[in-house]
Structure 1
Amino acid sequence: MRQSLCKNFIQYFCCIKNGDCQQRLDGIVLDLKIAAGTGGQAASLGDAAYREMKERLIRGKYRPGYKMTVRAVAEDLGVSSTPARDAINRLTSEGALVYAGPKTVIVPVLGEQDLKELTTIRIALEGLASEKAAPFGSEQHVELLDEIQGRINAALDAGNYGEALWHNKEFHFHVYEMAGLPHLVAMIESLWLRVGPSLYNLYPEFAQERYGVRNHQMAMEALAERDGAALRAAFENDIRDGYRLLRLAARRSARA
């Protein structure tokens, strides 16, 4: 079983490198089901379902207001109702989902005050992580970020905003994880779990103006120079630019 699980994780990291993360998420639960065998299968599948749903929320695959049931989640992930229910319960306890009925949960719609608070915390934590990552910058890191940005640009050009969001998370967290501060990264991930679905509201304006593209280019240049202050400024500007559009979207939603 250990060899099978190791193979799954190797495939996972390879797919990140090759830009096949969407396909990886579609298959990882089934792979874990096979690898887990009968012993501890429910717990393993519950964890896998939770991780996959969490990743989809962080990357903006589920939009604000999106409704789901245990049955729908189970069918989508290819698991039984028990691991699907476990995943939903964990995500509701974390505030990433809220119950809208006895059998239905929804992705929360964040108001302007929620977005303001989350943005303030994101600027502080993500700015810190990027600044701490700067000394570890290398040509290989910059090359990988450039590859990821190429996939973002291609998705934006095609109007595939979901795909752009998918790779945007890779770009940000590749830098944050370079800092070697796992507790800080975990806190940032918890913020993205809340704000991730709202990021879909950035488009199409964010794509048309190419705010993120410019900020990411500044980040790559700063990382190449190992300039912590400049790297921090690039990510803080990226968050602020996004917040301005998210705030407008929240105001439009409140008036509707």
Structure 2
Amino acid sequence: MATRKQAGKPVVGGVGENQLPTHELIYRQLRELVLFGDLAPGQAVTIQGLTERLGAGMTPVREAIRRLIAEGALEFQGNRRVCVPQLSADNISELIVARQWLDPHLALRATERITLDELDDLTVMDGELDSAISGGDLRAYLELNYRFHRRLYEIADAPILAELADGLWLRFGPSLRVVCGRMGTQNLPDKHKDMLAAMHARDAERAARAIREDVIQGMEQVRRSLELSAAAH
């Protein structure tokens, strides 16, 4: 393998964030509140409440909300309120169709391009993810799991596909938080080590299969939980 070092793009709080304009910083902060389920599905929040929570002015918060509504991550409720959409089991089934192609394809591309340094980065991230699972730290698990997959997308060097895959996380992230909160972290699926072993062996097809299993197992848990919740009501 080559040993070039490829820097990943920061999500929030990364190097270079201080140079970003205020409206972009606020967008990223609000995006993380949605992505990691800090705003629960169906929970209506006022625009004023978000400005206070983010410590920002009304204009950048409105712009962030507009962008997230366009991305399907928020819904406008009227009376200056927004909420995170509540997904159904059928919605998750659609997301499974998309993710079970996108994530394996990106894993395949990443395996063909990954350097030793990048593989070390992913291995360290997976170790941190294991610690979050064993410690029952749900918020850390959600964030580290996302960042692991995001790093994989960056290594794949397919920006259009990576943007599509990343956008899907905004759709199911809040529901994932709810489901994992019910289940705890100990029973969460993790095929990352299988994928990393395949990457070490430069076996792109095996890496793609491992990440496909990881995606399907996790998303199916979300889908089944939503089905049970709907049946209970």
For normalisation by structure 2, the TM-score amounts to 0.86
The one-letter amino acid paired with 2:202 is R
Task: Tell me which protein shows more helix as a share of its residues.
Answer: 1
Q: In 1, distance between residues paired with 2:84 and 2:34?
A: 9
State the SS of the aligned residue for 2:45.
Answer: strand
Cα separation, partners in 2 of 1:66 and 1:222, compared to 1, 3 Å: farther
Q: In 1, distance between residues paired with 2:184 and 2:212?
A: 16
State the SS of the aligned residue for 1:108.
Answer: coil
Partner in structure 1 of residue 53 of structure 2: 76
| 1:236 aligns to 2:212 (yes or no) | yes
Report how far residue 206 of structure 1 moved. Answer: 6.7
1:92 to 60, 69, 85: 69
Q: Which structure's relative contact order is higher, taking Cα pairs within 8 Å and 6+ residues apart?
A: 2
2:108 to 119, 131, 150: 131
The one-letter amino acid paired with 1:109 is Q
Partner in structure 1 of residue 150 of structure 2: 173
Structure 1 runs of 4+ with >4 Å offset: none
2:118 to 135, 141, 145: 141
Alignment coverage as a number of residue pairs: 224
2:26 to 49, 53, 70: 49
Q: Deviations over 1:163-186 (max 9, x none)?
A: 111011111111121111111111
Give unmatched runs, 5+ long, in structure 1: 1-9, 37-43
For normalisation by structure 1, the TM-score amounts to 0.79
Report how far residue 204 of structure 1 moved. Answer: 5.3
Within-5 A mapping of 1:101-120: 101-120=78-97
CA contact (8 A) 2:47 2:61 kept: yes
CA contact (8 A) 2:74 2:84 kept: yes
Report how far residue 60 of structure 1 moved. Answer: 3.8
CA contact (8 A) 1:58 1:193 kept: yes
Q: Deviations over 1:89-138 (max 9, x none)?
A: 22112211012232111111110111000110111111111111111233
Partner in structure 1 of residue 199 of structure 2: 223
CA contact (8 A) 1:125 1:188 kept: yes
